[in-house]
Amino acid sequence: MDPLSAAGGGLDAGRLRRLQLAGIASGFAAGAWLGAAEAPTKMVTLGLSPVVISLTMVLGVFLARWSLPALLRGTAAIGADVRQAPHLVVWAVLAGCLWAVANTLTVFAIRDIGLSIAFPLWNANSLLGILWGAVFFNELRGAGWSRRLGVLGGAVLMCVGATLLAIASSAGAAGGHAARGVAAALAAGALWGTMYIPYRKAYLTGMNPLAFVTFFTVGEVGMMTALALTDRGGLGPLVTELAGARDVLFWLLLGGFVWVVGDLFQQYAAKYIGISRGIPLSNTNQLWGLAWGLLVFGELRGRSAATHSQVIGGSLLMALGAAAIALASATGAEHRRWHEAAEREGSRYGIDPAYVRAALAGETGATTGRRSWLDWTLVGGATAVFIGFGAIARVPSLSVSWGWVVVLVAALAVLLVGTGLLLWRTTRFNYRRLGRLGEVFGGYGRFAPLTC
């Protein structure tokens, strides 16, 4: 019997299958774009403080997180989402704070114990995400042993593969503060793994990913600024360091922008396949980061055969793990358990049940489809900042294989367009075009499921 034949929560089997496919494609696209975000940062060869590098990337992230949602959905639709469930703004800001602290801790972990030890420790976040998904949101419940084994086994395989890759790409020089480094890496993993609780909470309740990220980034940039001020010893030294590096800030902002594209896909993966599957698939970013390092920047050139074996073995294990997870998609029975979790959220926070149901079907939200002056101001402002810093950007003299840049950028473009189209056809990015604004707030049934 087709496991999807008894689809969950009123969804027909075909609709559930399309949503799962969109979620899985989003997870793989997220990995590619998150991994590519490292590439622009390699253009920064100055001795900038890691915390300042992180802050500048987060500023690029902030610009992208306000301009892309304004372009794709419009601030009116985001406002409509927030009015449905305003408490989720707090959750989004909280998730942003978790991300910022985790990202900063990884910098210190690498400094103290090296990438090869630190990475596997914080990469355990996917296992923690699986735990939270099962405990809090009914993920993997009713999934059957083969699918549970696929997800858990796949995640473990990916962790082992990631460890091999980290060892291979590590410089191997640890700073000599083992206890502090291990604590930082473990804390980063716990923070990142827990960050997915707000993600899943928001998406089960009905918030659109494009609305969630606009508030997520407020917590992200606020917390990152606070950490940078603390680390640099105040505003004056921080501004001085930023001003001294103004001709390379563009690369960091660009890295942040690329990262946001990946993160948007990650959000859709978390929404449609849950955090237990979405996180591990997004963690394939390490494979892509390695591909950029090896092929474009010539890293590991002249290293031993053992190192290359580790790279090949680690990559194969990660690919196998990702495939196992992708093939263990949620059944109708599991999806019904997701609906139970969503109904519990709706009941707890007094949210329109029709809105919650439509959200799980990927059909929630409505807008006039028009863009306001505010949307164009946000898009224009962010574009102007990027152009401004791009105009004064200095291109360092690095050995770059431009042929591989073309190949990898083409792969990114294919994933962006392909997955974007799939998401659009399946969910319309969760909005439908209405003729009159009044219909948006027109009473019960306004978010009635659509047929696709």
Partner 1 sequence: MAGERGRLDAMLRDAQFWVPVAVLLGGLVVFWWIR
Binding site for partner 1 (CB under 8 A): 85-87, 90-91, 94-95, 97-98, 101-102, 104-105, 108, 112, 132, 136, 177, 180-181, 183-184, 187-188, 190-191, 194-195, 197-198, 201, 227, 230-231, 348-350
Measured between alpha carbons, how far apart are the two ends of the chain, in Å? Answer: 25
348 vs 433, beta carbon nearer partner 1: 348
Smaller CB separation from partner 1, 299 or 343: 343
Dmax (CA) of the chain: 67
38: nearest Cα among 91, 106, 96: 106
> At its nearest, how many Å lie between partner 1 and the CB of residue 78?
18
Which residue matches tokens 């978010």? 447
Helix axes 209-232, 178-205, angle to 10 degrees: 150
User: In this structure, are residues 108 and 49 in contact, taking their beta carbons and an 8 Å threshold?
Assistant: no
**Least Cβ distance, residue 98 to partner 1 (angstroms):** 5
Please name every residue paired with 367 in a beta bridge, in sequence order, or none if there are none.
433
Which H or E run includes 432? strand 432-433
At closest approach, how far in Å is the CB of 189 from partner 1?
10
Nearer to partner 1, 182 or 434 (CB): 182
49 torsion bin: left (phi>0), alpha (psi -120 to 50), beta (else): beta
Nearer CB in complex with partner 1: 69/198: 198
Q: Each residue of 95-132: b (16+ CB within 10 Å) or e?
A: bbbbbbbbbbbbbbbbbbbbbbbbbbbbbbbbbbbbeb
CB proximity list for 230: less than 8 A, separation 6 or greater: none
Residue 295 beta carbon to partner 1: minimum distance, rounded to whole angstroms? 34
Cβ 187 to partner 1, closest distance in Å? 4
- Please, which residue, 63 or 92, has the CB nearer to partner 1? 92
Q: How far is the CB of 6 from partner 1 (least distance, A)?
A: 29
Q: Which is nearer to partner 1, 132 or 250 (CB)?
A: 132
For residues 22 and 197, which CB has a smaller minimum distance to partner 1 in the complex?
197
One-letter amino acid for residue 278 of the chain: G
The distance of closest approach from Cβ of residue 224 to partner 1 in the complex, given in angstroms and rounded to an integer, is 12
What is the distance between the alpha carbons of residues 391 and 371, in angstroms, rounded to a whole number? 28
Q: Which residue has the tokens 């358990």?
A: 337
